[in-house]
Amino acid sequence: MRSEGRRSLWLLWVGAVFVLILGAVTWLQWRQSQLVSEALLLGGDNNAHFLYQADNEYLRLRESWPRPAPEVSVDVAALQLRYDIFVSRIGVLRDSGRARQMALQPEVARALVAAQAFVARADALLGPGVPQPRAAQLAALYPELIALDAEMRALTQSASDLVAVAATRLTEAGREQNRIGLFMTLMLAFLAAGFAVLTFRELQREQKKRRQLEELTLSLSQAQRAAESAAAAKSAFLANMSHEIRTPFQGLQGMLGLLGKTRLNQSQANFLRIASSSASHLLAILNDILDASSLDSGAVKIVPAAVRLDDLLAEVEALMRPQAALKGLELRLVELPGLPLWAHLDPTRIRQVLFNLLSNAIKFTEVGSVTLEVAPIREAGDSSPVFALSFVISDTGIGMDEAGMSRLFERFAQGDDSRSRRFGGTGLGLEISRRLVRLMGGDISVTSKLGEGSRFVVSVPWVEPLNESTTGNAGYRTRDFKSIHAAGEISAEGVDAVRRHDTEVQISGEASDIGHVPVSRLRVLVAEDNEVNRFVMEAMLGQLGHDVQFAVDGVEAVRMANLHHWDIVLMDLHMPELDGLEATRAIRTGSDAVKAAVPIVALTADVFEETRRRCAAVGVSDFLTKPVSVAELKECLERICLTEDRSIRPA
C-alpha cells in the first residue's frame, strides 16, 4: 500500500518533469522561429547588401557628377535621378531598423554622418523644390563628393565584416542551440529511461498478479471439477441406493399385502396394519430424500398438460378425506366463482404439492377443519383475464410463531424441535413443494399465528391450454389415472394417501370407477433376477388370474420372448448378464414382427427422469415403479391391454 503510493508519486514527478521539459523545448522552438522571423523583418543577412548598394550608388553618382574643369554640358535630369537614388540609399541606412545594428560599427556611423553632411549641402542645388542648378555650381561641389570616397569605401569593408560577424553569430547561435538541444535530449532520454524502468516494474508486477490469478483459476476449476465429480458420484450412489432399498421394499410390501388376504385374528390384523403403515411411511421418507436430491441436480422437469381443474380438485379432496376423517376433521373444498375449467399445469406436481400441504394441515390440526380454497387471480376487476391460480390451504391447527415460519422452508427444518418429536416426518416436504411451485413459475407463502392455525397460499401462473376442445374428458381421466400411479416417484405424506386409497380399492375388491374391462389369463413373462421379487410377482399375478413364467436374467428373457407368444413382458431393469434396457432393445429388434411388438413394462426401483428417458428410447411401453402394489399391477395390465387394443376376454 505504501510502496503503491510512493510509486504513484514517482510517476507523477517524472511526468511533471517530462511535461516541463517538453514545454521548455516547445518554447525554445517557438522563440527560435520568432527570432528568425524577426531577423528576416530586420533583413539581418541583407545588411551587407544595403551597404554595398550605398557605396555602389555613390560611385554611380560620382560618375554622373560634372567635373570642375573643363566645363562640359550636364544632363541635370539624369544626375537628379542618380542623386535621388543615392539619397534613398543613405535613407535606407538611416531609417530602417537595421540602422541601430549597423551604427554599432563606427565606420558605418562615420559614413552616415559624412554622407548626410554632403546631402545637406547638395540639397541646396538638387533638393526638392529647388530651381535647376548650373553646371558650375554642381562642379563646385565635386571635391566634397570625392572627399566622401574613403567613408564610402569603408561601407564595403563593413559589409564584409558584417557578413563575417553574422556568420560567426549564426555559428555560435547554432552551437548554443545544439548545446541546449543536446541537454534537452539527454534529459528526455534520462526521463524516458526512468519511465521505462517504472513501466517495466509495473509490467512485472502485473505479470506476477496474472500468474497468481491463473493459478487461482486453475485451482478453482480443479476444485469445481472435484465437486462436480463428487456430485455425480452422489447421484450415482443415490440411484443405486434407491434401487437397493426399493427392491427389498417390493418384497416387504408385497408380502404384507398378501398376508392381508389370509385369515388373521384381530391382533394379527392390527400388527399387519402397523407394519404396512410403517413400510409406507419409510417409503415416503425415501421418496422425499430422492425428490430433494433430484431437485438439487436439476433432474426434475415440469411437464405441463391440459388439466380439468374441477376433476383434479375433486380427486385431491377424495384422497385426503379419509385422512381428515380419521382425525375427526372437516375437509372443505371451496372453488371460488370464475375459476377456469381447464388449466395448463403439471398435474402430478400440483397434486404432489397439494397433498403435501393438506397432509401437513391435517397432521398439525387436532380440532376443527382444513380448507382448500381455489381462486382465480385477475389483474383487475372480475372481467379481466385470469393470470394466476391461488390454492389456499388453511387449517385451525396449532399454528406457528415468527421463528417457526422463518425456518419453515429450510431443509430438514420443522416448526420446532418438540414438533419433530411429536409429529415425525423428514421436514423435506415443504422445501420440495416450494421448489416445485417455483419451477412452475409460482410461489408459496405462509401466514400463521401460534395456536390459531396456518394459511399456505400457493400461486401458480395460469396458462390457457391450447387444445382444450380436443382433449376429451375420458382422455383426461385416463391420463390422470395413470399419473396417479406414476406417483411412485412423488413424495410426501399425500402419496401415502394415494397408496392407502389404492390398497383399499384393491382389498375391498371394488371395481374402480374408470370402467376398464377386467382382464385375466394373460400370458405374462416376468424377467426378474431377485428371488423374493419373483415370488411376490408370482403371487400377485396369480391372484389376478394370469399365467406367469420367469426369466432370471436378460439373456434368458430375450430367449424366452423370442420362443413363445406373450401378452405382456414385465422387465426388471437391473439384471445380470443383460440388463432390462438391452434386453428390451434385443426383443424390439427381433426377427418376428409380432413377437418384437410385445408390450414391455419396465419394473424399476429408481425414479429418475433419466431412467425414464432411456426406457422410452429403447421402446419400453410403460413403467411400474417398485414396490408395486397389486392395484398398480392390475391397472397397468388393463391399461396396456386397452392401448394395445387387444380384447382379451376371460377364458
Sole window of 37-45, 149-157, 227-235, 458-466 interacting with another protein (rule: CB under 8 A): 37-45
Which residue has cell 560577424?
165
CA atoms within 13 A on the CB side of 102: 34
Extract the C-alpha cell encoding 23: 514545454
Q: Which residues pair with 547 in a beta bridge?
A: 523
Strands 622-625 and 600-604: parallel
Out of 24, 45, 62, 577, point to the residue binding another protein (CB under 8 A): 45
534 binds another protein per the rule CB under 8 A: no
Site string for another protein, 189-218 (x = CB under 8 A): ------------------------------
Q: Contact letters (x/-) for another protein, 54-93, by CB under 8 A?
A: ---x--x--------------------x-xxx-xx--xx-
**What's the number of CA atoms in the CB half-sphere (13 Å) around residue 280?**
21
The whole-angstrom separation of Cα 648 and Cα 639 is 12
Among 7, 62, 67, 96, binds another protein (CB under 8 A): 96
CB of 114 to another protein, least distance (A): 18
Q: Which stretch binds another protein (CB under 8 A): 38-46, 191-199, 392-400, 569-577?
A: 38-46
Query: Is residue 515 within the footprint of another protein (CB under 8 A)?
Result: no
- Do 480 and 345 meet the contact criterion of CB atoms below 8 Å apart? no
In whole angstroms, give the CA distance from residue 358 to residue 352: 10
Least distance to another protein, CB of residue 101, Å: 12
Residue 131, SS3?
Answer: coil
Q: Between residues 54 and 324, which has the closer beta carbon with respect to another protein?
A: 54
Residue type, 321: R
Query: Does residue 163 belong to the site contacting another protein (CB under 8 A)?
Result: no
User: Whose Cβ is closer to another protein: residue 166's or residue 450's?
Assistant: 166
- Nearest approach, Cβ of 100 to another protein (angstroms)? 9
| Residue ranges in 98-127 that form contacts with another protein under rule CB under 8 A | 98-99
Give the footprint of another protein on residues 540-579 (CB under 8 A): none
Q: Which of 71, 95, 244, 443 binds another protein (CB under 8 A)?
A: 95
Nearer to another protein, 87 or 631 (CB): 87
Shortest gap between Cβ of 139 and another protein (angstroms)?
A: 22
Task: Pick between residue 53 and residue 105 the one whose CB is nearest to another protein.
Answer: 53
Residue 91 or 461: the one with the smaller Cβ distance to another protein is 91
Nearest to 517 by CA among 340, 642, 411: 642
Burial (CB < 10 A; 0-12, 13-18, 19+), residue 208, is: exposed
Minimum Å gap between C-beta 78 and another protein is: 11
Grid-cell match 541606412, residue found: 93
Residue with Cβ nearer another protein (43 or 194): 43
Side by side, the strands of the sheet bearing 330-335 are 330-335, 369-378, 386-395, 454-461, 443-448
197, β-bridge pairs: none
- Tell me if 166 contacts another protein by CB under 8 A: no
Q: How far apart are CB 52 and another protein at their closest, in Å?
A: 12
Q: Which is nearer to another protein, 47 or 348 (CB)?
A: 47
Determine the Cα–Cα distance for residues 522 and 533; give it in Å rounded to an integer: 19
Q: Give buried/exposed letters for 175-184 (b at 16+ CB in 10 A, else e).
A: eeeeeeeeee
Tell me the three-class secondary structure of 82-97, residue by residue. HHHHHHHHHHHHHHCC
Cβ at position 144, least distance to another protein in Å = 18
Cell of 331: 375437509
* Residue whose C-alpha cell is 428410447: 617
Q: Is residue 103 within 8 Å of residue 34, measured between CB atoms?
A: no
Give the nearest distance from C-beta 92 to another protein in angstroms.
Answer: 6
For the bound state, the minimum distance from the C-beta of residue 177 to another protein, rounded and expressed in Å, comes to 20
The least distance separating another protein from the CB of residue 43, rounded to whole angstroms, comes to 4
Nearest-approach distance from CB 143 to another protein, in angstroms: 23
Q: Given the complex with another protein, which of 156 and 471 has the nearer CB atom?
A: 156
From first CA to last CA, the distance across the chain in angstroms is 94
Closest CA to 405 of 392, 396, 415: 415
Nearer to another protein by Cβ, of 83 and 118: the residue is: 83
Which one of 14, 42, 255, 302 is in contact with another protein (CB under 8 A)? 42
Q: At what angle do helices 580-588 and 554-563 cross, to 10 degrees?
A: 20
Residue numbers of the site for another protein (CB under 8 A)? Answer: 37, 40-43, 45-46, 53, 57, 60, 81, 83-85, 87-88, 91-92, 95-99, 128
